[in-house]
Amino acid sequence: MKHVEEYDNSLVGIDVVPDHPQPEISSLASGAIKKARMRLMPLILMMYLLAFIDRSNIGMAALTMNQSLGLTPEHFGFAVGIFSFGYILFEIPSNVLLERYGARFWLARIMITWGVISMAMAFAQGVVSLSILRFLLGVAEAGLAPGIVFYLTTWFPKKELARVFSIYYLGVPLAAIIANPLSGYILDNFHNVGGLESWQWLFLIEGCPPVILSVIVFLYLTDKPAKASWLKPEERQAYQELMEKEQQATLAVGHSGLKAMFKDRRVWILGLAYFFTVIGLTGLGFWMPQFIKRFDYSDTVVGLLGTIPYIVGAVVMCWWSNHSDKTNERTWHFILPSLVFSAGFVVAAISDSPVISMLGLTLSTVGMLACVPTFYTLPASFLTSQGSAGGLALINSIGNVGGFFGPFLVGLTISLTGKSQNGLYLLSILVLFSPLLIYLLSKSRRQAAGWR
């Protein structure tokens, strides 16, 4: 344990400052946190689950849509990736408005607009209209992910963050576990129903739930602990005092203003690290169905096989995030799964065996799901208030540039070489830059109250 404490003193940052211990959590506040976790996290999980379904179901739709619309791998990669630019352009303004108007109203607004546009994708006529709709989907969904992360940092103390982030990020594997088999079934069984192609029904069916859930979000979500009428008055007071102490401790080593946030090199380096992580994440997520399809499985079987990596990854993610919280260590809990993330692509590409390929895709998925929730704890260590909303959005915006390059570069590589395995090798190399950046930053200078 002494070794861990000594290691934690060589933290990432710019200046060496005295240590600022995290506030003690009273029994009243602890009980209130448990109530908040039980009330808020299922809804947060459902929101991100539906968001990930509607941004990634194009990967399954591509199994029949690409031929119907005459899309090449390069066209498909571009249409998928252009989502990120719509997201990036409106992400920071969206998060600033969320901080101003409250999560309850703003997140509900996001859900309605993205649901409607997701359904409209059923009527794309080619690469141009599909790309426009994907861009608009990014605009509609802008701010959701960093908005949720910001929201969670206002509700939960730092020692709880990896755990609640892992619950929130369970939306990614659960989206695949639920949507992949459903999408495969729709593709195999909805041909020419009502005069529409099966891929069109996929977008229509899977775009409805967020519109419905937006009403529940608006009625049920609570903006901050001080407004939680479902807590006892003494619990609200203890909860609010705890979170205010947390913010004060964070301000001692960080900042709360937008101007200071833009000048902090940690924000930009974290954004660049996330950029390479997102390249791998989106390259894996959007192309996995087609990587599996190369073994000539039916669409239903492709959907079922695509759940395996996410089931395994979900279990590992929850265990790994809890371990990070218990040890209060962050840096290596990000670096190690990132290396597994990269290695998995090589394993998937190196063999023509479907079993070995699935093993590699599973390894990459496990690494990806384990590293991302831990990553979210890093900026929360020095950003608060408006600086947190804007800083998280900036980091996510930089990262989401990778959301364009991941799918597009894989598609371009496949078009140029004619081999899907080369796309996997490319992803393996690019993902390695993320843990390298975090490692170099962690060794750059000492900071007594930064991320661990």
pLDDT digit string, tens, across residues 211-243: 999 999 998 888 888 888 888 888 888 888 887
Q: Got the DSSP string for 110-156?
A: HHHHHHHHHHHGGG--SHHHHHHHHHHHHHHHTTHHHHHHHHHHHHS
More confident residue, 414 or 161: 414
Please tell me the predicted confidence (pLDDT) of residue 340.
96
- pLDDT band, very low/low/confident/very high, at 277 (cuts 50, 70, 90): very high
Distance (Å) of CA 204 to CA 61, 117, 128:
12, 10, 20
Mean pLDDT of 30-43: 87
Please tell me the predicted confidence (pLDDT) of residue 208.
93
Determine what percent of the chain is predicted with pLDDT higher than 70: 86
**Residue 205: CB partners within 8 Å, gap ≥ 6?**
182, 186
The Cα 287–Cα 304 span in angstroms is 15
pLDDT above 80 for 25: no
Determine what percent of the chain is predicted with pLDDT higher than 90: 30
Please tell me the predicted confidence (pLDDT) of residue 15.
33
Mean pLDDT of 184-197: 89
Burial per residue of 220-234, b for 16 or more beta-carbon CB atoms within 10 angstroms, e otherwise:
ebbbbbeebeebeee
Q: All domains of the chain, ordered by start, with CATH?
A: 31-223+237-442 (1.20.1250.20)
The overall pTM is greater than 0.85: no
Find out whether 404 and 81 touch, Cβ atoms under 8 Å. yes
pLDDT above 70 for 447: no
Which range of 195-209, 248-262, 370-384 scores highest in mean pLDDT? It is: 195-209
Mean pLDDT of 16-45: 74
| Residue pLDDT, tens place only, 358-379 | 999 999 999 999 998 888 777 7
For the record, the structure tokens of 267 come out as 């924000």
Please tell me the predicted confidence (pLDDT) of residue 249.
59
3-state secondary structure of 193: strand
Taking the CA atoms of the chain, what radius of gyration do you get in angstroms? 21
Please tell me the predicted confidence (pLDDT) of residue 248.
67
Distance (Å) of CA 246 to CA 30, 270, 452:
14, 22, 16
DSSP letter (8 states) at residue 26? P
pLDDT above 50 for 174: yes
Identify any residues that bridge with 196 across adjacent strands, giving them in sequence order: 193
Mean pLDDT of 108-118: 93
**Among residues 121, 306, 86, which one has the least CA distance to residue 205?**
121
